[in-house]
Structure 1
């Protein structure tokens, strides 16, 4: 087998695998509405978060809840997931 082919295959697998690890909680477009600032450090008040949650599609809500239930995916977003679980009545 050609070394170039092997290297390209490994590179392709790395790119595909890396994108699979990023989830909805890592998408700024999905997370920004829950925060008061562009750096996404300060979450909105519970009432405002509830409004944002209610406006989201059921598909996106389910994806967020699924990731919040996954220990590895939710770890960097623990505070957000705790609030989300409370909003969804799972706390």
Structure 2
């Protein structure tokens, strides 16, 4: 019983999101649709990236690096993180 409660708490925490990649306000500029399934063009991505604060950029890069180390289906943003590395990783 206790184990299931702990697991449930962990799952609930994961759903609320603790990384910059789970913040819709930060992620929306990089997608063409509200469901955030279709990425914007490379030029639009770079423009959105440059509009972010250096702190937000660092948080995004760190979150992508963390996901690469601990990738699983629940926390994976491979297309976005690939674009961060390719287009946004350097200013």
Q: TM-score, normalised by structure 2?
A: 0.72
In structure 2, C-alpha distance between the alignment counterparts of 1:73 and 1:51, rounded to whole Å:
27
Q: CA RMSD in A?
A: 2.6
- For residues 1-91 of structure 1, what are the structure 2 equivalents within 5 Å? 14=9, 18=13, 22-70=18-66, 71=68, 72=70, 75-87=75-87, 88-89=89-90
CA deviation map 1:8-35 (0-9, x unaligned): xx88xx48x9279621101111100100
In structure 2, C-alpha distance between the alignment counterparts of 1:62 and 1:82, rounded to whole Å:
15
- Please, which runs of 5 or more residues in structure 1 have no aligned partner? 1-9
Count of matched residue pairs: 78
| Runs ≥4 residues deviating over 6 A | none
Q: TM-score, normalised by structure 1?
A: 0.72
Larger RCO (CA within 8 A; separation ≥ 6): 2
